Structure 1
């Protein structure tokens, strides 16, 4: 049975064509794409012409600012990027096999799981896998998923984006994420008896924008409690800026419990959690990988150390009487 992929190969589609399409999708300009793959611009134009002859249709069109891929070109470029990612991972895997228990792993994580899951894994991996180096990127879920699809991460500990790209990724849920409210030590609300939810609205809140998962979750929970939107003069996804603002003002920040527990631990910690639980919990985060893609051995080892153990059925013993 002849497949479409067989037809493309028989018509002459080569790895050089795929490299060119992937570079063009990333740069939007033929010259820049040519530079990226190390060829001259006339050679790049010739590769594009060959692709269009092979598929019998245009893959790009000129715009005022450069090149725009056609729908057919975009589809082929996505596949080309995936092939390149697989080849890069294959090269890394071969190097790991040749070098024994070694390798380099690129992990993305949102802040809470970075502290609760990734950090303990890193401490354990230093002893159990000393030949593996790890690079960790901490960002919001949508940015991490973009980097994952671009091949800059092996896997992410995050949440799937609410857009069509989620169909390009596999997701294995790990845990939900409860949220607590944190302030600076000595905040007026820390001394208020019978603290109520309405008391929180007298102070500024600092949290990500309403389009973020945390922002949407917090606002939805406040609405469910019959409360208005809190005062919010600053929206930021920067964790460091959030901490700095808390320390220098009377602002309140909803943060993942793992984050709050880390920075409000101890009697001399500069931050404190408010003794009021609004019942806020962000949807579960999980292990995200490219759809159908295999991790390198080193990346799989790190992922296995992060994932919770799979529960097993208890062994039932029967007693003879």
Structure 2
């Protein structure tokens, strides 16, 4: 027999997983009968497998010792590898089960800002405990940008809103909730000293709004119109939260923001911003789970999507 063995020689000669399982069982039990029981096969079948192994490797892998058997050096080497293969297969089965159950893998999530704070982040915190092998990449952008990235295959799903126009048919949409809006000011704002604050009182100060075409701006102006009020005075239009909160600290401006976003800045006794004690009933149209039309989410993505939908944001 040639002394040169290539890595695939045993496989080409017919060594199978059943052979390896038998060797591992023999190493643990020392008896052909017990090994057969462990594999749930008849003893004659186990003996045939053992004979096949010896034919394939061209060497004895066992010797008789009374009522039991002892593996030779060749048998021990094969049994050691067999146990390792079985361990790897068990690990592979666990990995497959975890992936199938959404307990492992990589998921790419897109979200608009409010739900990213009060739904996506809590779901990811919970997943870190329940499924520590899940890794997530989160992109926070306006809905139209997220939908473009969905179509480009850069996201598994998005939490946002459908774009306007004919492209809406390219997506599936499951509504989750509307987005309530709060009015944010600096902690020592003059309006905080007024009793029984009225909607008209708010127009004594500048407002900071995103661009006019944004969903938030449209919702704010529509709600003010429902109160019979004109558009608020406005000297700055921006979608930058950093710029908005910096401006609020340096002026008497008012900023309507999603409550989830506002909550990140008004919690705690030393917060520099507060919410005005007035509810105009401003709500932005529902956001939801957005996927490509007809798409089937991978298990890990489906699990996170369900967790995000099930989140109940804490009230501010």
TM interval, short-chain normalised = 0.5 to 0.7
Of 118, 121, 137, 1:119 maps to 121
Indicate the residue corresponding to 1:216 in structure 2: 218
Alignment of 1:30-41 (within 5 A): none
- Partner residue of 1:268 out of 255, 267, 270: 270
| Structure 2 match to 1:254 | 256
Task: Give per-residue Cα distances to partners, 1:1-47, cap 9 Å, x unaligned.
Answer: xxxxxxxxxxxxxxxxxxxxxxxxxxxxxxxxxxxxxxxxxxxxxxx
> Which residue in the other structure is 2:180 paired with?
178
Q: For 2:132 and 2:295, how far apart are their aligned partners in 1?
A: 26
Match of 1:63 in 2: none
Q: Which runs of 5+ in 2 are unaligned?
A: 1-94, 312-316
CA shift, 1:99, in A, is: 8.2
- Give the drift of 1:98: 9.2
Alignment of 1:121-270 (within 5 A): 121-270=123-272
Mean Cα deviation higher: 219-228 or 240-249: 240-249
Indicate the structure (1 or 2) with the bigger Cα radius of gyration: 2
Q: How does 1:302-317 map onto structure 2 within 5 Å?
A: 302-308=304-310
Match of 1:9? none
Calculate the TM-score normalised by the size of structure 2: 0.64
Alpha-carbon distance in 2 for matches of 1:133, 1:246: 36
**In 2: Cα distance, 1:146 partner to 1:246 partner:** 33
Question: Which whole-Å deviations, capped at 9, do the CAs of 1:90-114 have from their partners, x for residues lacking one?
Answer: xxxxxx8498442211111111111
2:34 matched residue in structure 1: none
Q: Is the 8 A contact 1:140 1:237 kept in 2?
A: no
Q: Which moved more, 1:240-249 or 1:102-111?
A: 240-249
Query: Cα distance, 1:266 vs. partner?
Result: 2.4
For this pair of structures, how many residues does the alignment match? 214
Three-state SS of the structure 2 residue aligned to 1:162 is: coil
Secondary structure, in 3 states, of the residue corresponding to 1:104?
A: strand
Q: TM-score, normalised by structure 1?
A: 0.63
User: Following the alignment from structure 1 to structure 2, what is the Cα–Cα distance between the partners of residues 199 and 188?
Assistant: 11
Question: Deviation per CA, 1:71-107, whole angstroms, max 9, x where unpaired?
Answer: xxxxxxxxxxxxxxxxxxxxxxxxx849844221111
Q: CA deviation at 1:261?
A: 2.7
